Structure 1
Amino acid sequence: MLVAAAVCPCPPLLVPEVAAGAAPELDAARTACADALSVLAASRPDRLVVVGPTGPDEAGPYPGGVQGSLKGFGVDTGVRLGEPGAEPYARPLPAALTVAAWLLERARWAAAPVEGLGVDQRLAPERCAETGRELAARAPRVALLVMGDGSACRTLKAPGYLDERAAAFDTAAARALGTADTAALMALDVSLAYELKVAGRAPWQVLAGAAEGAEPGGQLLYEDAPYGVGYFVAAWS
């Protein structure tokens, strides 16, 4: 059963070494992520599952101990998702799970065993919800760390350029995340999310499925779009 969840953005810029001189711009987001992780630890989970958006080739499970790297972003920094596993794992962590692993290392996570799940960003809402229900049934007390960004079309300099629909989409998503409104999360439009380059839609709908029957309360800890991309941090418990 789901006992707690943290929702965090997944840009590599969260890592100060990647952001370099721009690192202070996301200090508030990092602090909010740390606060959300503290909610997870306080829930005393038996298992923590990190859920993040990927392409189809990177989707699937990642056991504890898998390594990730930030070399692709110009920083020779490696991270590991939880404690080392019993056997080497062929696939490295995808970018979103690598950022999550960095957040967990920064928080010195030791509250429960960790595993990861890469979710194809095009996965249908029904399959996302089903995946969430399966995750929630993995242990008596399951916590989720859900990585994902909002629209990437909030400004002219945003990665997806300016789309006037982006602000309204992000407002609705932030409200749903901040109030643990699973129905609103499931109602997020797949096609619109794709057009707005929303990386978080599928992971958020996995969270909605996992929360079925749990009725958690939600709190929005951070909401901003410093680079034209919607970043949200929320805690559910």
Structure 2
Amino acid sequence: MLVAAAVCPATPLLVPEVASGAAGELAGLRAACGRALTGLAAARPDRLLVVGPAEPDERGPHAQGAVGSFRPFGVDLTVRLGEPAEGTVAEPAGGARRLPYALAVAAWLLGQRGGWAGPCEGLGVGEPLAPSECLRVGRELAAPPGRLALLVMGDGSACREPGSPRAEDARAVAFDERVAAALAAADVEALAGIDAELAAELQVAGRAPWQVLAGAAADARLTGRLLCQDAPYGVGYFVALWS
């Protein structure tokens, strides 16, 4: 049974070493993520599952302690899923799967608060996954006995303004506002109804993870709270807590 969920941005810019001189611009988002994780812990789940976007070779389950690296972003920093931030973390052995960047960001966030005391695993999902499949995956995740918490990583549209990573699209802001409203209200039907084709056109990285959340929360009757909404670089970022 799903007892709580936190929604956080997937952007590696949450990590100060990656953001470098712009780290201060995301301080509010970082702080909101910390509050969301505190809310997850307060729900006293038996296990935590981190869900985020992933490339084809990174999709599927990732075990507790799996290693992620920010070297692709120019920073010599590695993390382990569910473990404290302190100490030296070895790179994955040859052939071992590395955490998708979104799950690495989640591992960094968890590490900043001392790791996760109980069982913690990851799940990478991909943009081609149809909404109906996302909902099915979510229902299956919430079906086993015990108290489940989800940490859902994902970004909104990436084309909100001329300086965005993608060409500006007039539909982007309205799309993000609908997502923000759904997260604030824990509106499962609204998340389940996100148009996958439109989300892909707007370069939304969170559509599949959010719809997995919708499937998991279908029978949970959770209440929602939007802790932060921002778009400092023309990309929609959200932090929310469902409990």
Contact 1:36/1:235 (<8 A) preserved: yes
Q: Structure 2 unaligned runs (5+)?
A: 85-92
Deviation at 1:83, TM superposition (A): 4.8
Match of 2:40 in 1: 40
Q: Letter of the aligned partner of 1:14 in structure 2?
A: L
For the residues of structure 2 that align with 1:218 and 1:102, how far apart are their CA atoms?
24
Match of 2:57 in 1: 57
Q: Letter of the aligned partner of 1:149 in structure 2?
A: D
**Residue 223 of structure 1 pairs with residue 229 of structure 2:** yes
**Residue 168 of structure 1 pairs with residue 201 of structure 2:** no
**Residue 78 of structure 1 pairs with residue 78 of structure 2:** yes
Contact 1:47/1:139 (<8 A) preserved: no
Q: CA RMSD in A?
A: 1.3
Alignment match of 1:204 (pick from 210, 215, 218): 210
For the residues of structure 2 that align with 1:57 and 1:168, how far apart are their CA atoms?
32
For the residues of structure 2 that align with 1:138 and 1:77, how far apart are their CA atoms?
35
**Residue 18 of structure 1 pairs with residue 24 of structure 2:** no
Deviation at 1:135, TM superposition (A): 1.1
Deviation at 1:107, TM superposition (A): 1.4
Deviation at 1:138, TM superposition (A): 3.6
Alignment match of 1:137 (pick from 138, 143, 150): 143
TM-score (normalizing by structure 2): 0.94
TM-score (normalizing by structure 1): 0.96
Residues 194-221 of structure 1: CA distance to partner in whole angstroms, max 9, x if unpaired?
0000000000000000001111000000
For the residues of structure 2 that align with 1:106 and 1:23, how far apart are their CA atoms?
15
Q: Count residues in correspondence.
A: 234
Q: Letter of the aligned partner of 1:124 in structure 2?
A: A
Q: Structure 1 unaligned runs (5+)?
A: none
Match of 2:87 in 1: none
Q: State the identity as a percent.
A: 64
Deviation at 1:139, TM superposition (A): 4.1
For the residues of structure 1 that align with 2:220 and 2:233, how far apart are their CA atoms?
35
- After TM superposition, what 4+ stretches of structure 1 lie above 3 angstroms from structure 2? none
Contact 2:163/2:233 (<8 A) preserved: yes
For the residues of structure 2 that align with 1:102 and 1:61, how far apart are their CA atoms?
18
Match of 2:154 in 1: 148
Residues 16-74 of structure 1: CA distance to partner in whole angstroms, max 9, x if unpaired?
01101100000000000000000100000000000001122211000111000001111
Alignment match of 1:117 (pick from 100, 103, 123): 123
Contact 1:46/1:139 (<8 A) preserved: no
* Matched position secondary structure for 1:121: coil
For the residues of structure 2 that align with 1:162 and 1:207, how far apart are their CA atoms?
28
